[in-house]
């Protein structure tokens, strides 16, 4: 089975695992997905991640984070740029999410960056998704 939008698949797997109250979720590896997992960990939306190379194909094992009584740390995980409609923003046009409480993730010429970091480095790019 081939996935036409690997990033949307990544986000959907995390959303589904949260709804089922799973502790971990395994996602097929790519460098982009690993960079997204790193940003989610740095911003505090997941507990941790690791790359499992023991199987035939590499897998990213993400440990999900819950607050209090089984409430997911991620309230919303929404894809912005899609294969049918790409969304690009300049460095001055990077939107804030919930007045700065959430995070944008962008694919830039300097790699996959959070919106805050892209702003500080002065680069724009493709607005992949937002999380809060």
Q: Is 105 helix (H, G, I), strand (E, B) or coil?
A: strand
For residue 126, the model assigns a pLDDT of 97
For residue 55, the model assigns a pLDDT of 84
And the tokens for 21?
A: 């109250």
> How big is the CA angle at 41 (ends 124 and 117), to the nearest 5 degrees?
25
pLDDT-derived band at 112 (thresholds 50, 70, 90) equals very high
pTM, two decimals, is: 0.93
pLDDT at 1 over 80: no
Gap between the Cα atoms of 123 and 125, Å rounded: 7
Query: How does pLDDT run across 22-67, given as a tens digit for each residue?
Result: 999 999 999 999 999 999 999 999 999 999 998 899 999 999 999 9
Greatest Cα-to-Cα distance within the chain, rounded to the nearest angstrom: 43
Q: Which domains does the chain have, with CATH numbers?
A: 6-72 (3.30.1370.30), 77-131 (3.30.1490.10)
Q: 128 and 107 in contact (C-beta within 8 Å)? A: yes
- Rg of the chain over Cα atoms, rounded to whole angstroms, equals 15
- Residue 94's CB is within 10 A of a number of other CB atoms, namely 20
Query: How does pLDDT run across 68-106, given as a tens digit for each residue?
Result: 888 999 999 999 999 999 999 999 999 999 988 999 999
Length of the chain: 132
């Amino acid at each position: 089975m081939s996935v036409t939008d690997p990033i949307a698949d990544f986000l959907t797997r995390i959303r589904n695992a949260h709804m089922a109250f799973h502790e971990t979720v395994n996602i097929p590896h790519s460098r982009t997905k690993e960079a997204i997992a790193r940003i989610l960990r740095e911003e505090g939306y997941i507990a941790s991640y690791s790359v499992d190379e023991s199987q035939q194909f590499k897998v990213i094992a993400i440990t999900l984070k819950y607050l209090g009584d089984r409430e997911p740390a991620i309230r919303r995980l929404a894809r912005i740029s899609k294969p049918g409609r790409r969304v690009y923003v300049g460095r001055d046009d990077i939107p804030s999410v919930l007045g700065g409480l959430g995070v944008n993730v962008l694919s830039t010429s300097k790699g996959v960056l959070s919106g805050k970091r892209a702003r500080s480095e002065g680069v724009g790019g493709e607005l992949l998704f937002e999380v809060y």
